[in-house]
Amino acid sequence: MRFYGDYHTHSRHSDGRQSHEEIVRAAKKQGLREVAVTDHGPLAAGIGVKNSRDYLVQRQEIERLQPSFPEVKILLGAEANIRDLKGTLDIPPEVIEELDILVAGLHPYTLPTSVQDGWKIFAQNSLCHLGKGQREKAVNNNTKASVEAIYQNPRLDILAHPGLFFRVDVVEVARACVRKGVFFEINCGHEHPGISDIMEAEQVGVDFIINSDAHFRETVGELNYGESVVKRLGIAEERVVNRVDGEAVGDGAKR
């Protein structure tokens, strides 16, 4: 399988260890035609941009860089953090409107919108080791937060690594992705989701997107995990949107 683009990478503006130029050079080396820089939103401790206006600074950087790389379209994106059970993201709507692509997911150490939501999502997940009942509460809350993020954010393009840090009901999340046209990510950096979850999502009918989640230039465009799992499970290539000849992903695909 050949890929058109990688739509989940991180630069030094968040927790990446690479510049925009290094990301683009790596994408070009991999033969990609598009790459998105999707730095973490500002409210996940230690990994996010300083503030949401940082994305507008990145837009200027990308515009300066683009003429030097006519072979690779550079997209401005963000990986927003889901903050509560209502699916609130940590990037304001006026900044989201300036992005080419929006990714979102649940991440540890995210500032919630309320103490109550902080307990139900982030604290509850720390109690999973106490037994089945606590695990079920956590999964229910994680699923609700993810599903609401899909429904309440019409510009959302990609749900990042579903269930990675916070276990979810994959079927319910996949159904929401199908209904709202959000791509279900196979994340090669974390090699997640696993085979069983991908099988469940495929049966629901999601469109997959295979991304690197690269934090280093060496892994930009490294999509082997996703490609191997898709082949192993016999998933039709047409279900992978960022294959060559796939559908539009970036540059306002959800508009």
Confirm whether 67 is domain-assigned: yes
Yes or no: say if 193 and 186 are a contact pair by the CB < 8 Å rule: yes
- Total domains, the chain: 1
- Per-residue confidence (pLDDT) for residue 48, from 0 to 100: 96
CA dist., res. 220 & res. 183, Å (int):
19
Confirm whether 179 is domain-assigned: yes
| Pick from 135, 65, 58: nearest CA to 101 | 58
List of residues 6+ apart from 204 with CB closer than 8 A: 171, 174, 175, 178
- Per-residue confidence (pLDDT) for residue 56, from 0 to 100: 96
CA dist., res. 59 & res. 244, Å (int):
26
- pTM given for the model: 0.95
Confirm whether 111 is domain-assigned: yes
Yes or no: say if 16 and 9 are a contact pair by the CB < 8 Å rule: yes
Confirm whether 166 is domain-assigned: yes
- Per-residue confidence (pLDDT) for residue 249, from 0 to 100: 77
Confirm whether 244 is domain-assigned: no
CA 126 distance to own-chain centroid: 23
Please tell me the total number of residues recorded for the chain in this structure: 255
What are the per-10-residue average pLDDT scores of the chain (255 residues)?
96 97 98 98 95 97 98 98 98 97 97 94 87 91 98 98 97 98 98 98 98 98 98 96 79 49
Residue spans of alpha helices (H) in the chain: 20-29, 54-65, 93-96, 115-118, 124-125, 132-152, 170-180, 195-204, 224-233
Yes or no: say if 210 and 186 are a contact pair by the CB < 8 Å rule: yes
- Per-residue confidence (pLDDT) for residue 250, from 0 to 100: 66
Confirm whether 252 is domain-assigned: no
- Per-residue confidence (pLDDT) for residue 211, from 0 to 100: 98
Residue-number span of the structural domain to which 62 is assigned: 5-239
Output the domain CATH number for residue 198: 3.20.20.140
- Per-residue confidence (pLDDT) for residue 222, from 0 to 100: 98
Between the alpha carbon of residue 184 and those of residues 60, 63, 117, 189, 242, the distances in Å are 29, 29, 25, 15, 12
Confirm whether 232 is domain-assigned: yes
CA dist., res. 156 & res. 197, Å (int):
21
Confirm whether 249 is domain-assigned: no
